[in-house]
A and B are shown apart, each in its own frame.
Chain A
C-alpha cells in the first residue's frame, strides 16, 4: 500500500486536512446558517443556543456529506459533530456541541447504530449529565440488510437518519417538549426502513485506495454507508431489477398497512448521478403503488453518502398526518431548504 500504488483522484490538499478544510468551506458557503467551531471541530447553528428550544445534535464519521453538517440550521439540527472519514467523532466534540446548543429544554443526540458512534455518544452523554445537562439519545437502526440478532452489532443507521433529523428538527423548532420530539424521532425510526446497493467501492483519502474491488458486471447488495462490502455480491441488475430488490426488502420488513401513505427517499451514495436516481425513483414509485402504498412525499438526491461510491439506497417511511406536517415544515440548512 505504498504511495506509488495510490489510485486517488480527489480535489484535496493534504489527505489529513480534508475534514477540517471541508468543514471550513461549508461554513464559508452558508455563514447565515451555521458556524464552524474549529477548536472543538463542531458545526453549530448560527443562532445557537436557542433559548427554550429542544436542541438536536447528530454526528458520525465524515464522508457521508451532506449528512450531518449540511443539515444544521433552522428546522433541523442545532449542531453536528464530524469525525475523521468513516470514523466516529470523539466524546469531547459531542460534549462541546451539547454545551454550545443547550437552550435549557433538553438535548437529543441522534446516533446512527454503529459500535463506535454509540460508545462515543454514550461517554459524552454521561459527561453532560455530570454537568447537569439533560441529554436523551435515540439510536437509529433502519437498515434491513442486517438482521438484528445476537450475531451482529444490530441494524445499521442509514437513510432514516436524514428523515429523523428533519422531522425531529421541525418538532423542536415549533416548540414541542423534549418528550414529544423524542417520540417523533423514535416513530421515524420505528416506521422507517432502508436498503442499499453499490456499483463501486470508494477511496478514503487517508488510505488512498479503494476499500474493495468490484469486478465489472457485479454489484454489492445490502451495503451500509462506509464503503464496506454488502451482505452478498450479485450480477449487476437493471434499474427495474434493482428496484425489485429494494422495494421487496424494505416493504416486507416494514409491513405497512395497505393503503398507507409513505415517504419514499431514493438516496445516491455519492457517485451516481441524478439522471439515474430519478429513473430509479420512477421504478420504485410504480412498485410502491403496486404494493398498495402511496408515496405522497419523496426525497431524491445524494443526502447520506459513502464518499464517491456509486449506488443508491431506498428508505420508506410510513407517514401519518403529524409526520407529514413536520416533513413539510420550513427548513433552512445547507442541503435541505424549503418553506418559511
Chain B
C-alpha cells in the first residue's frame, strides 16, 4: 500500500500557484516554442489563465479539493481561449469531479483524477499519443502514476516518476510530425521542434511533484 498521505484543498491551491509561477517564469520559452510551429502565444495565454486561477482561488479559498479544481478549470475556460483553455479547463473540471465532495484525497484518488483529466483531453481534442500534443506528456505521466500506485511507491517517488515520464514524453515530441492542432498545418516542417503543449503539460506535472513533495 502507498504511504497514507492525505492531500486537501491547500494542496490544490498550492499546486495551482506552483503552476502559475512556473508558467510565468517560462512564459517567453513557451512563446518561442510556439512561434516555431504555431503562432507564438502559448506562454502568454497560459500565463493569463493561471494568473486568473491564482486570483480566483485567493478570492474564493473555501471549498473541497474537488470544488477548487472545478473552479480552476472554469477559470481557465473563461480566460485562456485557444485550444489549451478548453482542454486544460475541462481536464481540471473532470479531475475535480473525480475527487467528489470529500475534504481530503489520497494517492489513489489523485491518480483517478489525473486519469479523468487525460480522458477529458483525449475526448475533446481527439488526440492520441504520437500526434505531437499535450497527450504525449500527460499519458506517460498518468501511466507512471498508475505504476507507482501499483507497486506501493511513496508519493514523492510516484510523482517524481510521473514528472520524469512527462518530460521524456515532451522531449519525444521533437522528431514527431504534428497531426493535431495548429502545428499540423506545417506538415513535415513541424518535425524537429518540441511541442509547446507537451512542454507546458510537463511543467504542470512537475509543479504537482514539487507541491506534494512540499519543496518548491
> Which of A91, A209, A228 has a CB less than 8 Å from the CB of B39?
A228
**Within the assembled complex, what's the spacing in Å between the Cα atoms of A86 and B177?**
23
* A-side contacts of B189, CB under 8 Å: 229, 231-232
Chain A residues, CB < 8 A from B125: 115, 119
State the Cβ distance, A62 to closest chain B Cβ, in Å.
10
* B182 near A228: Cβ-Cβ < 8 Å: yes
Given A115-B125, A207-B41, A228-B38: A88 and B81 interface contact (C-beta under 8 Å): yes
Report the number of A-B residue pairs with Cβ-Cβ less than 8 Å: 114
Q: Shortest CB–CB separation between residue B204 and chain A, in angstroms? A: 18
How far, in whole Å, are A229 and B182 apart by their CA atoms in the complex? 11
Q: Is the CB of A212 within 8 A of B81?
A: no
Residues of A within 8 A of B78 (CB): 90-92
Rounded to whole Å, the gap between the CB of A76 and the closest CB of chain B is 24
Contacts of A228 in B (CB 8 A): 37-39, 182, 185-186
Task: Say whether B10 faces chain A, with CB atoms less than 8 Å apart.
Answer: no
Chain A residues within an 8 Å CB radius of B187: 151-152, 231
Task: Verify A119–B124 contact, CB threshold 8 A.
Answer: yes
Given A151-B177, A206-B41: A115 touches B83 (CB 8 Å cut-off): yes
Q: Are A152 and B39 in contact (CB under 8 A)?
A: no
Contact B39 A90 (CB under 8 A): no
**Are A119 and B87 in contact, with the CB atoms below 8 A?**
yes
**Within 8 Å of chain B (Cβ to Cβ): is A83?**
yes
Residue of A nearest to B177 (CB): A151
Q: Which of B27-35, B165-173, B206-214 faces chain A?
A: B27-35
- Known A-B contacts A119-B124, A228-B185, A231-B185; the reply to A91 vs B77 at CB < 8 A is yes
The interface residues of chain B lying within 8 Å CB-to-CB of A86 are: 39-41
Residues of B within 8 A of A231 (CB): 185-187, 189
Q: Digitize A113-144: 1 where CB-to-B-CB distance is under 8 Å, 0 elsewhere.
A: 01110011001000000000000000000000
Contact partner of A87 (CB less than 8 A), chosen from B82, B185, B186, is B82
Contact assessment for A87 and B81 in the assembled complex, using a CB-CB cutoff below 8 Å: yes
- Decide: A88 near B31, CB < 8 A? Known: A123-B77, A151-B179: no
Contact A207 B83 (CB under 8 A): no
List, in ascending order, chain A residues with CB within 8 A of B28's CB.
1
Residues A204 and B181 in contact, CB atoms below 8 Å apart: no
CB-defined contacts of A123 to chain B, threshold 8 Å: 77, 86
Judge whether B44 is part of the interface by a CB distance below 8 angstroms: yes
Question: Within 8 Å CB of A114, what residues of B?
Answer: 83, 182
Min CB distance A19 to B, Å, is 11
B-contact bits for A202-222, CB 8 A (1 contact / 0 none):
001011010110000000000
Give A contacts to B, CB under 8 Å.
1, 61, 83-92, 114-116, 119-120, 123, 145-146, 150-153, 156, 204, 206-207, 209, 211-212, 224, 226-229, 231-232
